[in-house]
Amino acid sequence: MNLLKQHGRRIYYWIIVLVVLPAAGFTQLIPNGDFEAWHTGRYKTTEPEMWETQNETGFVTVKEGEGHTGSRSACLSEQWDSMTQSFRGTAMTTTFELPAADNLCIITGWVKGSPSNSDSLHISVSISAKSARTGQGGISIFTTSGEWQAFTLKVKPGQNPNAATALLSVILEPLNSSHYQTMYCIDDLSLSETK
């Protein structure tokens, strides 16, 4: 009987989700956009589920950090690359399906960090359908603090009569004499369509 109640609640939950979301335009959590799920990657380093990082054995630039709302976030940091004898930035990417849309899309999230000099965090989206790029958007964050700050990124999806694929990139860009202290943490990413 208890099992029946649990299944009934789940069915009720999914009915609400399926009825309410289409009425509000699509609202979608970017895959693991809350960065709560992590796994051991191909180089035996920890990285966020559903995201590709540049972590390698002995060179880890994306690590778990304290979360904005949950327990974890993704923190990108510059590291000294002994091969090139210089500081190196990093990036992480994910892809997801974007429903057919003509309206502007908004990506929201939270960021905190400690940049050095002119280092910045760049967040960009590239949308493609049938191997052709149809839309894009990007934002650069140059200054932030130890406190979480909200950001909004507007994305022009282009004319997509069919579903498209979105590539979301978060890039720590070292500019001009960058420093080892630069680190940005990002969390609670979500995507919505404006009407």
**Which range in 27-31, 51-55, 81-85 is most confidently predicted, on average pLDDT?**
51-55
* pLDDT score for 28: 59
For residues 94-111, give the mean pLDDT: 86
- DSSP bridge partners of 162: none
The verdict on residue 167 lying in a domain is: yes
Q: What is the DSSP string of 78-135?
A: -EEETTTTEEE-EEEEEEEEE-SB-S-EEEEEEEEEE--TT-EEEEEEEEEETTEEEE
For residues 83-97, give the mean pLDDT: 85
**Total count of domains within the chain:** 1
Domain membership of residue 134 as a residue range: 25-193
Under the banding of pLDDT at 50, 70 and 90, the label for residue 48 is very high
The verdict on residue 170 lying in a domain is: yes
The residue with greater pLDDT, 138 or 88, is 138
The verdict on residue 150 lying in a domain is: yes
114-133 pLDDT tens trace: 777 678 889 999 988 877 88
For position 148, which CATH number holds? 2.60.120.260
pTM over 0.85: no
* CB burial of residue 74 (10 Å; 0-12, 13-18, 19+): buried
Under the banding of pLDDT at 50, 70 and 90, the label for residue 8 is very low
* pLDDT score for 35: 97
d(CA 158, CA 22): 20
d(CA 132, CA 8): 43
Whole-number CA gyration radius for the chain: 19
